[in-house]
Chain A
């Protein structure tokens, strides 16, 4: 492996020193400017690191295209999400991260203008197959949003809501799930004495953990987190991050984040998207330390986005 000195220890335009990874070995396509090509409407195949082939796969995304009316929001997205790990989606605002996440539990179906081509396969079954009941699919996914959205009811009822809609009446079972989920969301000790109080009486960070408790109450296979910390202060963010790390293993987590440090701290795999295209997908440490494309490198080092 030869080293191209111009990529080593350079400084950015604003004069701050950055430590740049050795790119020469990975710059397979020479000086192709992917971003320009994508902006001009071309679809570029993503760079997928080989490492994913050694993983146990829970979700396989296959040539996924999505349109809102006439505007295409996702272009030929293909990658695989490993089981029991944290996979983060990064990319500039509006690049389709949330849209991607909303495909996984088919909540996009509720938007009339959405049209989807391609496939998503969970545990070998297509989620778009004719026999798939979206209600059942959504119960197997837990979704958490940027802004905490607990219901205006008691903490207890918030957590057991997914069981309530399934018609579960058994007090013991509800109590059991409530405690297990709140413990799972690292909230039990803080709220165990006030389960009857409104979920809205909690602080923002506690509300978000309540939402995570609610999301794991029905014991889903995947957790879909859409910028779960961006409305929270640093202390609450740290707690949620710790929680996400503890939850991985039991759950396969797909998290959208704006925060590069968060993606690099939390996730095992990272997908970098740009204008509806997947640019690069691979193990997080590689994406952040020796990405194969210059565009990923520019983005993770904060040079654009």
Chain B
């Protein structure tokens, strides 16, 4: 006691209280953070449990049979793959080029600010509105009819703003000093971008694009009116099984398929519905893991 009194570094009451408060805040924020994990784990465990009877290699590789009371999900799975592929082939180059323009070339004037505002707002448009826009713009106005291309264009428009934004962020993370050094050596802006800026931001740009895979694969609304179909005859084997849809064909997709078998059709085994959901979630987790791994690799290589 007397020791404590003599110790010039002993905590005062006020300091002790402050420390108690800190402990409380730390514990409660920690608890809330841990609670966040529960829904994720619960969903996955529940899905796997419910879909367990259906999950098999055949469930992936076989086409739906007898109104999805037998067979698997090959036709919608490959449809989703092509939807994602075509939409990113459209959106990635446009989004990356727009991001490069906005971050590297555009002057800070009202037009640039307006474009940036438009991009931000486009990112907030609900997907059902994108679906209706796609119906009006691609299906009717451009006369594509409902098809893989029209749906891909619609999904591309939906993913574009995020690709633009993530590209801009990746480019902006490259220090200005590198560009200044280049310009002072007589490099043009494009030479600077090609030799210094892009090589040091390409992984960040690709990460942004990869994250859009999950979004393009998961959304139902944009493809609802623009090309998805309830069921289509797809070959069980051979080349036609791998490339069942042309750009002008209507197609099956996982998200839409799940919607149909859950709400529109009777007698679909429960495990099939959950199996379809489990495969979708599995794909999303796989793709996101790739992008997270990419980001970790990128951070470990970051040298400034």
Contact = CB atoms under 8 A, between A and B. Distances in A.
A143 to B, nearest CB: 4
A214 B185 contact: yes
Interface in A149-174: 149, 151-152, 161-162, 164-165
A143 B191 contact: no
A34 to B, nearest CB: 33
Interface stretch (A104-112, A255-263, A293-301): A104-112
Contact of B177 (A110, A112, A145): A145
A158 B111 CA distance: 37
A85 interface: no
Contact of A165 (B107, B185, B200, B304): B185
Nearest to B185: A162
The A interface, classified by DSSP as helix, strand, loop or mixed, is helix
Nearest to B191: A165
B184 interface: yes
A72 interface: no
What is the size category of the interface that chain B forms with chain A?
A: 10 to 19
A151 B183 contact: no
Given A147-B177, A164-B195, A165-B191, A138 B186 contact: yes
B186 A139 contact: yes
Given A147-B177, A152-B303, A164-B195, A136 B200 contact: no
A139 B184 CA distance: 8
Given A165-B191, A165-B195, A198-B303, A149 B181 contact: yes
Contact of A136 (B175, B183, B186, B187): B186
A145 B180 CA distance: 10
A252 interface: no
A200 interface: yes
Interface residues of A, number: 27
B188 interface: yes
Given A145-B177, A200-B303, A135 B188 contact: yes
Nearest to A198: B303
B52 interface: no
A200 B304 contact: yes
Contacts of B290: none
Contacts of A110: 183
Contacts of A164: 195
B184 A105 contact: yes
Contacts of A149: 175, 177-178, 180-181
B196 interface: yes
B177 A165 contact: no
Contact of B183 (A112, A138, A218): A138
Contacts of B183: 107, 110, 138
Contacts of A152: 178, 200, 303-304
Given A138-B185, A139-B186, A200-B303, A151 B107 contact: no
Interface in B176-228: 177-178, 180-188, 191, 195-196, 200
Given A165-B191, A200-B303, A151 B196 contact: yes
Contacts of A105: 184
A214 B187 CA distance: 13
A136 B195 CA distance: 19
Most B CB within 10 A of own CB, among A107, A112, A136, A149 = A149
Most A CB within 10 A of own CB, among B180, B186, B195 = B186
Contacts of A200: 303-304
Interface of A: 105, 107, 110, 112, 135-139, 141-143, 145, 147, 149, 151-152, 161-162, 164-165, 198, 200, 211, 214-215, 218
28 contacts: A105-B184, A107-B184, A110-B183, A135-B188, A138-B185, A138-B186, A141-B184, A143-B185, A145-B177, A145-B180, A149-B175, A149-B178, A149-B181, A151-B178, A151-B196, A152-B178, A152-B200, A152-B304, A161-B182, A164-B195, A165-B185, A165-B186, A165-B191, A198-B303, A200-B304, A214-B181, A214-B185, A215-B185
